[in-house]
Structure 1
Amino acid sequence: MTAPIETTGASEAQPEAVLSGADKGQIEGRSLGQIAWTRFKKDKVAVAGGVVVILLILLAILARPIQALFGLDPNAFNQDLLDPNTSLPHGDWGGMSAEHPLGIDPNFGRDIATRILEGSWVSLVVAFGATILSNTIGTILGVIAGYYGGRTDAIISRLMDTFLAFPLLLFAIAISATLQGGAFGLEGLPLHISVLIFIIGFFNWPYLGRIVRGQTLALREREFVDASRGMGAKGPYILFRELLPNLVGPIIVYSTLLIPTNILFEASLSFLGVGIQPPQASWGGMLSEAVKFYKVDPQFMIVPGLAIFVTVLAFNLLGDGLRDALDPRSR
């Protein structure tokens, strides 16, 4: 029979030792947001993308004040800087100079840097407006379909399938071309921006709707939903106070990935001539004008192309980083 093992004071948790360290600081719990932020900060590429996105948003917001402060006009002609025989800018690299750091466009001699600045707010307004519209519709219909199920789910799901079957590009071209003159009491730039936001946002909501529906199907069986039902909570309360807060992460991630898609879509429509109309500057419109001069003045095409490329890349990097931070299992 073995003797019992005696524990000495060195191995015992002395109450005095525990209490003496209590006043040196307590371990504080972290919220899910703090944990996600810690993960996100470790992804240097995503942080760089986020910094670029913030700078682009600030640039778009301050575009008009910057133009007013420095007296810049995106539609000002500089015919004296063009060769009268070829209508091309004097000098190399598209007429780049201290006054025109990115050069000037052929035919009109307008400053490319100023037009890029002007086009930035147009692209972001359309992209953000369309994203907000599509996310609002998709979130509401998706969470309703996922929570109630049955016939409601079947009707909304078939509606999603119907919208997804639309040839969106051809439909957008047809609507934009029809509403160029004026409609709904709007005309000019406000009309073009409103039409683009409606077309892009209204017909893209099923993508988020399907994501939200799938997440809701999983969440509606969780204990906190059953507890709300047991306490007598009605459907609308559960939808907007219990389910939607748990869907914020996927919605944010999808939004950051949808915005660059909307920027490309707006640029495509403007490139085809049914989006933002000249003389208003837009990145897609600038590319459309540059097609005629890409062989003799490639600078005119490179600059707006790089603007679109950098913007889309920054939003994609930010979206990937947010997805990994909010849902590490998705890696």
Structure 2
Amino acid sequence: MTAPIETTGAAAEAQPEAVLVGAEKGQIEGRSLGQIAWSRFKRDKVAVVGGVIVILLILVAVLSRPIQALLGLDPNAFNQDLIDPNTSLPKGSFGGMSGDHPLGVEPKFGRDIATRVLEGSWVSLVVAFGATILSNVIGAILGVVAGYYGGRVDTIISRLMDTFLAFPLLLFAIAISATLQGGAFGMEGLPLHLSVLIFVIGFFNWPYLGRIVRGQTLALREREFVDASRGMGAKGPYILFRELLPNLVGPIIVYSTLLIPTNILFEASLSFLGVGIQPPQASWGGMLREAVTYYQVDPQYMIVPGLAIFVTVLAFNLLGDGLRDALDPRSR
């Protein structure tokens, strides 16, 4: 056996020059939790693809009106010359596809399907994002208050959550939307329909996030940083909004990306049933409702808006799954 090599204290100690060189080259670099989560997220190729699709969908929705103007097409313009008067179906093959109408035209009226899908995209995303923001604000505030204070406050808020969860949401939404179709609160038409859908979907969905936030708060309120804030004299509101809520951003973001596609489907369902967005305003659910009569002879009229809903919901779900794994790898 060879004798161990002895090193003197001076030789074993790192030289200052070496430390400086290493620092200059960035060999030792701390990373924040956000940077760690981003590096995990980038390794999930499926989630990255979902995120790219979501960004493209948002851009398409925001730029839908300029795109329509660029193409010179009106989603509500009738093109009766493209419709066979005997069958009420588009002339030509594949639903009347042409250079001017790349996705064809709808039966009976001849309105361009591509521009109506573009028009419906911003409607669905406005309702989905608006309802998600409303439910998140209510759910996050009530959830963190219930989890932090506990006792009677927790009991009252928890029973309120149970009450809202017991509502038959679809039937309740149909009743409210149908009642307010004509006009209410000084609004009418599309602004009224959008506001009603955002309120109904968002106001009755907050208990789902509220339960998640409450459960996370019950664990966080016993942590050292909360005790330190109390020891320094911090009051309840300061601890709630400056200490607890910032540590709940991750679960809220993940749940939001999973709630948005649910809200898109809910809005499409209400429009499909005739109590959501009303014609002539285009919406994906409304297009599916109008396509029911013609799906056997002109399936493309149903396939195009159906694919739009499918791709949007799938992209948000893939993004949500990736964010969940990146922010909480123990959930795998």
The verdict on a shared fold, with TM-score over 0.5 as the criterion, is yes
1:236 aligned partner: 237
Whole-Å separation in 2 of the counterparts to 1:115 and 1:276: 13
1:23 aligned to which of 21, 24, 36: 21
1:38-117 matches, within 5 Å, as 38-117=39-118
Deviates most, 63-72 or 275-284? 63-72
Give the letter for the 2:232 counterpart: M
Give the letter for the 2:111 counterpart: R
Note the C-alpha offset of 1:12: 5.3
1:160-239 matches, within 5 Å, as 160-239=161-240
1:268 aligned partner: 269
1:33 aligned partner: 34
Report Cα offsets for 1:9-33 as digits up to 9, x if no partner: 7x952443x6335323341110000
Note the C-alpha offset of 1:76: 0.5
Deviates most, 114-123 or 92-101? 92-101
2:257 aligned partner: 256
Whole-Å separation in 1 of the counterparts to 2:314 and 2:5: 65
Give the letter for the 2:236 counterpart: G
1:13 aligned partner: 12
Give the letter for the 1:125 counterpart: V
Whole-Å separation in 1 of the counterparts to 2:267 and 2:43: 33
Whole-Å separation in 2 of the counterparts to 1:320 and 1:153: 30
Whole-Å separation in 2 of the counterparts to 1:303 and 1:189: 23
Note the C-alpha offset of 1:45: 0.3
Note the C-alpha offset of 1:92: 1.2
2:281 aligned partner: 280
Note the C-alpha offset of 1:67: 1.8
1:132 aligned partner: 133
Gaps of 5+ in 2: none
Note the C-alpha offset of 1:84: 0.7
2:327 aligned partner: 326
1:246 aligned partner: 247
Report Cα offsets for 1:91-137 as digits up to 9, x if no partner: 11111111111010000000000000000000000000000000000
Give the letter for the 1:216 counterpart: T
Report Cα offsets for 1:239-266 as digits up to 9, x if no partner: 0000000000000000000000000000
Report Cα offsets for 1:57-109 as digits up to 9, x if no partner: 00000111222233220001111111110000011111111111101000000
Report Cα offsets for 1:263-284 as digits up to 9, x if no partner: 0000000000000000000000
Whole-Å separation in 2 of the counterparts to 1:61 and 1:154: 43
Give the letter for the 1:115 counterpart: R
Whole-Å separation in 2 of the counterparts to 1:44 and 1:72: 36
Note the C-alpha offset of 1:5: 5.5
Give the letter for the 1:267 counterpart: A
2:121 aligned partner: 120
Gaps of 5+ in 1: none
1:289 aligned partner: 290
Note the C-alpha offset of 1:8: 4.4
Give the letter for the 1:234 counterpart: K
Matched residues, number: 327
Partner secondary structure for residue 12 of structure 2: coil
Partner secondary structure for residue 300 of structure 1: helix
Whole-Å separation in 1 of the counterparts to 2:294 and 2:152: 57
Whole-Å separation in 2 of the counterparts to 1:6 and 1:97: 82
Whole-Å separation in 2 of the counterparts to 1:124 and 1:198: 14
Whole-Å separation in 2 of the counterparts to 1:306 and 1:70: 22
Give the letter for the 2:104 counterpart: G
1:289-328 matches, within 5 Å, as 289-328=290-329
Q: TM-score, normalised by structure 2?
A: 0.96
Whole-Å separation in 2 of the counterparts to 1:276 and 1:20: 68
Whole-Å separation in 1 of the counterparts to 2:304 and 2:310: 10
Note the C-alpha offset of 1:291: 0.3
Whole-Å separation in 1 of the counterparts to 2:183 and 2:161: 30
Whole-Å separation in 2 of the counterparts to 1:241 and 1:72: 50
Whole-Å separation in 2 of the counterparts to 1:201 and 1:318: 21
Report Cα offsets for 1:211-233 as digits up to 9, x if no partner: 00000000000000000000000
Deviates most, 84-93 or 149-158? 84-93
Give the letter for the 1:174 counterpart: A
